[in-house]
Amino acid sequence: MKKLGIVVGVIVAVLIVAVVVLRVAGLDPNERRAGLWLTGEVVTTPVTDWSFTDKYRNIYVQTKTWYLVPHSVTTGCTAKDGKLYLTSIYRPGQQFPRDKAWNRNFVRDPRVRLKIGDKLYDQTLALVMDETEKDAVLEAKAKKYPQQPAVDKSRVYVFKVLPG
């Protein structure tokens, strides 16, 4: 029993050290692999025009989990009329927000951290409910990402980025 306690203690200590190291070093997502904390220079001045994001194919989104370790993903972004939008596409049979961790986290807590280039922006997301706005964003997205196949818009969720 004493050996088991020592083994469990060592495992817990290693996990704590790993989390501390990851917190300091960060762990950006990579392609389809989710990450943890994003690293970069935090921008505190408000952004009034997000059109500079047009030059970035992908950005990172860090959400807050219920277990206090961030979850970050790679996603595309679309600037429209100076505002920034993110999209989340669901495959047939998947349900929003259940089947995507970052969407579940957003629904629970809309505060996010965006990494665009090497800069970090603390923002808030809002689900776009207006169909006209959603259509305009999806049209702008299709122009930015012409190689992506068209998807049934009922399976696409659009999020507007608001100041943090």
The CATH number of the domain holding residue 44 is 2.30.110.10
The per-residue DSSP string of 38-59 comes to --SEEE-SPPS-GGGGGG-S-E
- Which residue(s) pair with 115 in the sheet? 60, 120
pLDDT band at 24 (very low <50, low <70, confident <90, very high): very low
The single-letter code of the amino acid at 19 is V
Instruction: Tell me how far CA of residue 30 lies from CA of 75, 91, 130, 147, 159, in angstroms.
Output: 11, 21, 32, 20, 22
The H or E element spanning position 85 is strand 83-89
Looking at the structure of the chain, the number of domains it has is 1
Q: DSSP assignment, residue 130?
A: -
The tens digit of pLDDT for each residue in 43-54 reads 999 999 999 999
The tens digit of pLDDT for each residue in 93-114 reads 999 999 999 999 999 999 999 9
Q: The domain containing residue 46 runs over which residues?
A: 2-163
Mean residue pLDDT across the chain: 88
